Structure formats: C-alpha cells, structure tokens
Structure 1
C-alpha cells in the first residue's frame, strides 16, 4: 500500500473518454441489476451505495493492491469480532460514521438532550438498582455521585423512565474486557415519581479504545490517538419518547483538547464533576472514609418519539 502511486487534486491522471465510458457502463449495469428489487428502500440503498462506491474507486483510481489490502483489513476486522468485542463498531466510530448516523437520526429538537455514540461495550441485562445505589459493583475508581432529572421538552417530569448507565473503571477497562466474567460499572434504574434519579458511580477517566486489532493499526498508520475523552454512558427510554443514547463528559479533562477518538463530544454534554475532599458529607450519608469523591448533575430532556 505504501508503494501506491500518490495522486492529489492538482495531479490527477488523465482519463480518456473511452476509458470513462467503460467505467460508466459498468456502473449502469450494476445499477440495473437492482431494478427488480421488490423492497423500494433496499433498492434505493443498494443503488446509491453502488454510485458512491464506484465514484470513490474512480475518484482515487484505486489500485488492485489497495483493493486487496482493504479486503484483508475488513477480513481481520471480522475475525477479531466476537460476542464481547465489536470491531466493526470501532471502525464505524473511528471513521465518524457512527456519529454521522446519529446526527441523521436524531435531529435537533427544541431543548432535547443531544445524542452521541453507543459504543461497543453495552450489554443486555445489566443489574437493576434503586435510586441512590451504586453501579460500580466493586469496580475500582473514585466514587462519583450523579443526579438529575428526566423531563420532556415542555419541562414536565417523566416518572419511571429507564436509565441504563455504564462506564469503565479507573484503569480504563470495562467489565467485558476482563476474562473473569464480572459484571461491574453498569446497571439500570428508573426515575422516581418526580422524574428524578441519582446513583453512585465512578468519576470517568480517559481510556483508549481497543487498539490491538486492525482498527488500532489503522489509527497508528494515520497518526491518530485511540484515546477517548472521559465519559459516562446513558441510554434513556420512556413511552412515546425518542430513545436517547448519550454520554456526559468531564469538564477539564485534557483529552477534550486533544480530541475524542470517535468524535463523540458535544459541548452540551460536558459536565462538571466537582471533586469533594475526603470527609465531606455525602448527599445520602454514605461513609467513604478517607476517599475523595466527586458529584455531577445531568438533567435529561427527551424528545417526542416522532421528532
């Protein structure tokens, strides 16, 4: 791949009209192959994919060596993917495709909370906790008290909204990255009758996405950091409301200036995690001994389902 001929906007190869006709004829034949597709949406998707894919190949004058490299790269992405690791999601994330899909499907609506990437570390059946309990389940890190409300865009509280919350430990590892089958740093809870929620978690820390596979090699090849800005994941659902998948990020985290490896940061989602000295009284009277802790507030606004 490194030996491929370099071309740029000012040095494009001259393509004869005869060659252009050959290439365009192929595009048209591929497009026509989808004409009998019964599902109109599928037909549209396949034909537009064909146009954009062939445009890319023709635009960059893709070499056969580069095509072979790309096929091998995608094969490696598939081989490393399993029920605990989704390398295709990582690839989508690092190319900004995940965030672009989120942008397209979560149009700005009034004062609704902004969405961001889902990430590869969500799992089903996280434990249920009551308001005020701890999602860490033994994960190491600085305790953090997180509280807030869930409301609609008119300011009405939403009781019984389901909040799924997950995060890494102080070493930047999610439970599913360990081999001992632990379930920690994640839980689900419900907003109370006033739309309020509260729980103990851990103060988020920056961490690298898994970079020991093909996506990590890609990032290294282009000189990009695999590190994500410190964050805490939320997925919030309620009847007749648009499902919200989002994070909150830590104000003052140096990684915010360097950049988030999956382009997930939005200014509205950066929140203060105020550090409290050891011995400071906690909101629920929990005794943390000689530990420092932090507290953050996240008021969530859900858009209507049809928005």
Structure 2
C-alpha cells in the first residue's frame, strides 16, 4: 500500500496544512498566497476561541442575513467591513504617503459621478442649511508650490444628516455637491454648510451587532473631498469638525488626527462659519 501524506486526512492539529495542501500549484500565485494565509488565520482564530457549534451557526446566520439585505442601494458587507476597521486598514496600506502629504480616509457610500463643475466661490447648498460655512485653502505639493488645475470634488450631508441620494424626494439632485478647479495660485473656496454628525444605517445585521457590542452607529461631522491633479496621487479624504463628540469613536474609524479642521464662527460675514484646510499632494511615482 502506498504511504499516504500526513495531510491526506483531517486532524485538529494539522487542519491548516490539510486544507492548504488541496490548493493546486497551478492556481494563480497571488490567489494561492492570499487563500493560504486566510486559512491559516481563520483556523488559528477558531482554535484560539474554541468556537462552539452554536456560535458558528450564529455566525453563518449573521452572514446570510447580511447578504440578504444587500441591494443596488445598500451594501451591508461594506458596512461590516467599515465597522470592523477593515476598510480603513486596506485604505491605509494602499495609500501610504510621506510625512506632510494629506492623508486618505474612506470614500463612503454616497459619492456620485457627474456632479456640476462650478466657479470658485459658488454656494453648493441648493436648499436647507442655516449654519452656512465657507470652505477655503490651498492645494500645494510637498515643497509648498501651488498646484494649478487641481480638481476638487466635494460633498456633504444636509443639516438633517442625510445626503441628497438618500432623500431624492426631499433634496434636489446634487444638493451640497460640487466640483472646482484651482488656478495658478492653487487656492480654492466655496460655500456650503457646516456638516452634522449622523448614524450609519443600523437597522440591519451590522447595526444589531453594534448594539450587542455596546457601540454607537454615529459618524462625526465631516466634509468629503477628492483632490486630484495630473502627476500627483489623488487624495480621497474628509475634513472633520473640531470638537465633534464622535471624533474618537467614529463608527467606521475614519478619523485621523491630521484631518480634524477648525470651524470658526464669522461675525457679519457672508456665512456663519468658515473652515480653512490646506491639501498637500504627493507626486506620483
């Protein structure tokens, strides 16, 4: 009888080797690496906590319900990735930049394409918004040189904490959205509103999980920016309202210290608030 390899039959101790031995050497090299490490860490987790059959059944039910609530407007698995910090970790690994360059954070689910391009100084708030705010600053490179032709795509929630795409029957299309392009001085400025904190959707499995963990669903108030220019790495980020109560407990872990911006009151001005933030771009490799 031919001798069988030690990985031919499943045992608790050799579970990782047994499973990974079934992956063909002809499989895509990157896929093979990722799957082998996934099996290694997944089995180590199961062994570490000594997962029970009931607990595994609960996990399967949770994942099933997470998939069932997904549709073209809602992606509960992305939400799950967000609240576990995985989205931010993947983003951080893939957007490493030198000190001084503006940091990335998560895109979020409410960005849309085809937003109107406006002249500098335009008010992007079409309806609502008593707490008006002027956003301004400069786009430059790491040496402090202004970047001409930088495209600045911005969007925020309404004063009620909802994006226009969440309320198509209440807010006009592209409310609190706009695209601007810098001139030779690299400066930008536009009017909008001071954003407010809001909860992520918490009426599904992910929200239930947060409740069981004693975690709240709120994101701190923020303005979204995508800043891009030829020859530079694009920056997808937010500026967060300084002093917001959720800065250190953001449900999706999107806050970085360097992205917290001052929002200062304005006396007898065009807006009630103003927020200054300078973006520093890193040249593409």
TM-score w.r.t. the length of structure 2 is 0.89
Q: 1:90–1:215: 8 Å Cα contact kept in structure 2?
A: yes
Equivalence for 1:241:
232
User: Could you tell me how far apart the structure 1 residues matched to 2:134 and 2:159 are?
Assistant: 16
Unmatched 5+ stretches in structure 1: 1-20, 283-291
Tell me if 1:172 matches 2:154.
no
Using the TM superposition, give the Cα deviation of residue 153 of structure 1 relative to its aligned residue in structure 2, in angstroms.
0.9
Q: Deviation at 1:179?
A: 4.4
- Larger displacement relative to structure 2 (119-128 or 52-61): 119-128
Q: The residue matched to 2:11 in structure 1 has which SS? A: helix
Q: Is the 8 A contact 1:139 1:184 kept in 2?
A: no
Distance change (3 Å), C-alpha of 1:37 and 1:237 = farther
What SS does structure 2 have at the residue aligned with 1:176? helix
Q: Does 1:138 align with 2:102?
A: no
The answer (yes or no) to whether the contact 1:102–1:115 under 8 Å persists in 2 is yes
* 1:6 counterpart residue number: none
User: Could you tell me how far 1:199 is from its partner in structure 2?
Assistant: 1.0
Q: Distance in 1 between matches of 2:131 and 2:26?
A: 55
SS in 2 for 1:22: coil
Q: Is the 8 A contact 1:147 1:196 kept in 2?
A: yes
Relative to structure 1, the CA distance from residue 139 to residue 124 in structure 2 (aligned partners, 3 Å threshold; closer, same or farther) is: farther
Q: By how many angstroms is 1:141 displaced? A: 4.3
Aligned length, in residue pairs: 274
Give TM-score, length-normalised by structure 1.
Answer: 0.83
Matched, 1:299 2:278: yes
What CA distance in whole angstroms lies between the structure 1 residues aligned with 2:31 and 2:83? 26
The match for 2:264 is 274
> Structure 1 residues 189-198 or 81-90, which shifts more?
81-90
Cα distance in 1 for partners of 2:175, 2:70 equals 22
Q: Is 2:223 aligned against 1:232? A: yes
Would you say the 8 A contact 2:220–2:240 is kept in 1?
A: yes
Q: State the distance in 2 between where 1:82 and 1:161 align.
A: 35
CA distance 1:127–1:86, change in 2 (3 Å): farther
Asked if the contact 1:78–1:87 (Cα under 8 Å) also holds between the matched residues in 2, the reply is yes
Q: CA 1:83/1:184 → structure 2, altered by over 3 Å: closer, same or farther?
A: farther
Q: For residue 302 of structure 1, report the CA deviation from its aligned partner.
A: 1.0
Q: Residue 200 of structure 1: CA displacement?
A: 1.0
Does the CA contact (< 8 Å) of 2:67 and 2:76 recur in 1? yes
**Contact residue 15 and residue 43 of structure 2 kept, 8 A:** no
Aligned to 1:196: 187
Runs of 5+ unmatched residues, structure 2: 1-9
Deviations 1:138-169 (A, max 9, x none): 24342110011111111111111111111111
Deviations 1:171-205 (CA, angstroms, capped at 9, x unpaired)? 11111222427332222222222211111111011
The residue matched to 1:23 in structure 2 has which SS? coil
Q: Distance in 2 between matches of 1:67 and 1:23?
A: 17
The residue that corresponds to 1:90 in the other structure is 79
Alignment check: 8 A CA contact 1:168 1:174 kept: yes
In structure 2, the CA distance between the partners of 1:80 and 1:186, relative to structure 1 (3 Å rule), is farther
Q: How does 1:16-35 map to 2 (within 5 A)?
A: 22-35=11-24
Q: How does 1:253-292 map to 2 (within 5 A)?
A: 253-256=244-247, 259-277=249-267, 280-282=268-270
CA distance in 2, matches of 1:179, 1:302: 34
* Distance in structure 2 (CA, Å) of the matches to 1:32 and 1:210: 41
